[in-house]
Amino acid sequence: MLEAFLVSTGVVALAEMGDKTQLLALLLAARYRRPVPIVLGIAAATLANHALAAAFGGWLATLTGPQVLRWLLAASFAAMGAWMLFPDSASDFERSRRLGVFGTTLLAFFLVEIGDKTQIATVALAARYAFLPAVVAGTTLGMLIANVPVVYAGERLLQRLPMKLLRRVAAAAFVALGVLALVA
């Protein structure tokens, strides 16, 4: 249980560096300048999105045998490692003003996370570890570890972090998880 939580936290925190949802956090912070509802919106959206992803990953684990699942996990982690080497770009994250800061953040983060690296990582982690609450709690914490400093420190922080190096470290971590899935 603790391993699932810690691995999930670390994987998602690394995967989130330079990701489009981190750019979204920066845009929301710059626009609204109200960090508390933004952070709460990120937490709620991530919790909901990753709970669905973990449920899917857990279901996927029941459909395959252990050998097939090991190869699927190894391939998915290796693919995530390769994907990490390519930075996301910002797109139009604007949402309706009627939703307020929390609602805008909640909706934007939930939608932007669909099919994102961290959501796919959550599916793979849930397929790997049987205790889904630890995976969801870990991936949500990892998302917050990566995004809360962006909300509070904003652009100054992003300009100082070596994003290329962080993406490479994250890519190596995913490849290592893929290898571990095969040998463990």
* pLDDT single digits (tens) 5-36: 999 999 999 888 877 788 788 878 877 878 99
pLDDT (mean) for 164-178: 72
- Report the pLDDT value the prediction gives residue 24, as an integer from 0 to 100: 81
**DSSP code per residue over 37-99:** HHHHHHHHHHHHHHHHHHHHHHHHHHHS-HHHHHHHHHHHHHHHHHHHTS----------GGG
Whether the predicted pLDDT of 48 surpasses 90: yes
Q: Is 18:167 a contact under the CB 8 Å cutoff?
A: yes
pLDDT score for 96 = 46
The CA distances from residue 4 to 1, 42, 57, 90, in Å, are: 5, 22, 13, 31
Higher-confidence residue: 77 or 12? 12
Mean residue pLDDT across the chain: 80
pLDDT reported for residue 90: 45
pLDDT at 106: 92
The residue that leads in pLDDT, 71 or 118, is: 118
Residue 92 clears pLDDT 50, i.e. is over it: no
Amino acid letter for position 73: L
Q: How many angstroms from the chain centroid is the CA of residue 122?
A: 7
pLDDT at 84: 59
- Say yes or no to pLDDT of 94 above 70: no
The residue count for the chain: 184
Token pair listed for 162: 């070596």
Q: Give the mean model confidence (pLDDT) for residues 78-107.
A: 67
pLDDT tens-digit series, residues 119-137? 888 888 988 888 899 999 9
pLDDT score of 77 more than 70:
no
- Residue 66, burial from CB neighbour count under 10 angstroms (0-12, 13-18, 19+): exposed
Instruction: Extract the tokens encoding 161.
Output: 């972090």
User: Residue 154 pLDDT more than 80?
Assistant: no
**Pairwise pLDDT comparison (65 vs 129), residue with the higher score:** 129
